[in-house]
Amino acid sequence: MQLERLLHSQGFGTRKACRALARAGRVSVAGEPCGDPFADFAPENLEFAVDGETWRYREKATLMLHKPPGYECSHKPLHHPSVFTLLPEPLKARGVQCVGRLDEDTRGLLLFTDDGQLLHRLSSPKHKVPKVYQVTAKHPVDAAQMAALTGGVQLRDEPAPLAALACEPVSERVIRLTLAEGKYHQVKRMVAAAGNRVESLQRIAVGGLALPEDLAEGEWRWLEEEDLARLTAK
């Protein structure tokens, strides 16, 4: 693949802008400066750098973000900054999209991808990809409330009761709730219907992929093959 095309595919601007990057001496490939925008390279696992920042060629961009509270999962936020401001420009230029959404005040594991098939697989209700949330409630969560959450609670505008796949106690006011759907404010509405109130909420896993303990709020990292395998494992 020609260097200008490679840079363009990775979100570094138009073909013309990518040619200019190379000719300006701002690009290196495999540790060596490359000023020829038409030089050919095998793209698979190729490492290159733009302005000293190293990247690896990826046909599809899939990543995780530890979302902080105070950010909206939208390109056009209404009241708070967009989560997309936490990502570097090349990823935004590639058109990565949120895989589902987290409320403005919710933190935790948020996935992004430009892979349409993966986005559909993870987002479509028919695939029932489990999402695990750590819920801090206002009041102690008793056995009757946990039984209601797993047995099914009726929400307004929903034709049938919604049930959690699992509900595990962590402490007196903290539970881990596993859902297969991703409906609007679902965790908060279900907890309210069970007779309590959510004080804080964190998504800690999607599928078999858990939020890494060493990924700080506001930080992102690529999903590698082993992460994708855990994410989509049945």
Residue labelled with tokens 């999903």: 223
**What pLDDT, on a 0 to 100 scale, did the predictor assign at position 171?**
95
Segments in 95-180 forming alpha helices (H): 116-123, 143-151
The pLDDT of residue 167 is above 70:
yes
What mean pLDDT is predicted for residues 152-167? Answer: 90
Q: Do domains 3-56 and 62-125+212-232 have the same CATH topology?
A: no
Q: What is the pLDDT of residue 54?
A: 95
Domain ranges of the chain: 3-56, 62-125+212-232, 130-206
Q: Are 223 and 62 in contact (CB under 8 A)?
A: yes
pTM for the predicted model, two decimal places: 0.90
Active-site residue, from 40, 51, 103, 157? 103
Q: 174-187 burial string, b = 16+ CB within 10 Å, else e?
A: bbbbebeebeeebb
Q: Which residue, 18, 54, 87, 90, is CA-closest to 98?
A: 87
Question: In the predicted model, what is the mean pLDDT of the chain?
Answer: 93
Alpha carbon 104 to chain centroid distance? 14
The whole-number pLDDT of residue 173 equals 96
Query: How far, in Å, CA of 33 to CA of 39, rounded?
Result: 12
Q: Which CATH number fits domain 3-56: 3.30.390.50, 2.10.25.10, 3.90.1150.10, 3.10.290.10?
A: 3.10.290.10
pLDDT attached to residue 100: 86
Q: Does the pLDDT at position 195 exceed 90?
A: yes
pLDDT of residue 93: 94
Confidence tier at 13 by pLDDT (50, 70, 90) = very high
> What kind of fold does domain 62-125+212-232 have according to CATH?
Alpha-Beta Plaits (3.30.70)
**86-100, 111-125, 181-195: which has the highest mean pLDDT?**
86-100
Q: Which residues are CB-contacts of 149 (< 8 A; sequence separation ≥ 6)?
A: 163, 164, 167, 175, 177, 190, 191, 194
Nearest Cα to Cα of residue 111 among 230, 221, 19: 221
Q: Which of these, 74, 186, 199, lies nearest to 139 by C-alpha position?
A: 199
Residue 234 scores a pLDDT above 70 = no
Looking at residue 46, its pLDDT comes to: 94
Predicted confidence (pLDDT) at residue 35 exceeds the cutoff of 90: yes
Chain centroid, CA 193 distance in Å:
28
36 is known as an active-site residue: no
pLDDT of residue 156: 86
Comparing 70-74, 119-123, 190-194, which segment has the lowest mean pLDDT?
A: 119-123
**pLDDT exceeds cutoff 70 at 69:** yes
User: What is the mean predicted confidence (pLDDT) over 132-150?
Assistant: 96
- H-type helices in the chain, by residue range? 3-9, 15-23, 89-94, 116-123, 143-151, 186-193, 225-232
Closest CA to 182 of 115, 80, 109: 109
Model confidence over 98-135: pLDDT tens digits? Answer: 998 899 999 999 999 999 988 988 887 788 889 999 99
Tell me: pLDDT of 140 over 90. yes
Q: Answer whether residue 24 shows pLDDT above 70.
A: yes
User: Is the model more confident about 181 or about 93?
Assistant: 93
Give the CATH number of domain 130-206.
3.30.70.1560
**Do the beta carbons of residue 199 and residue 148 sit within 8 Å?**
no
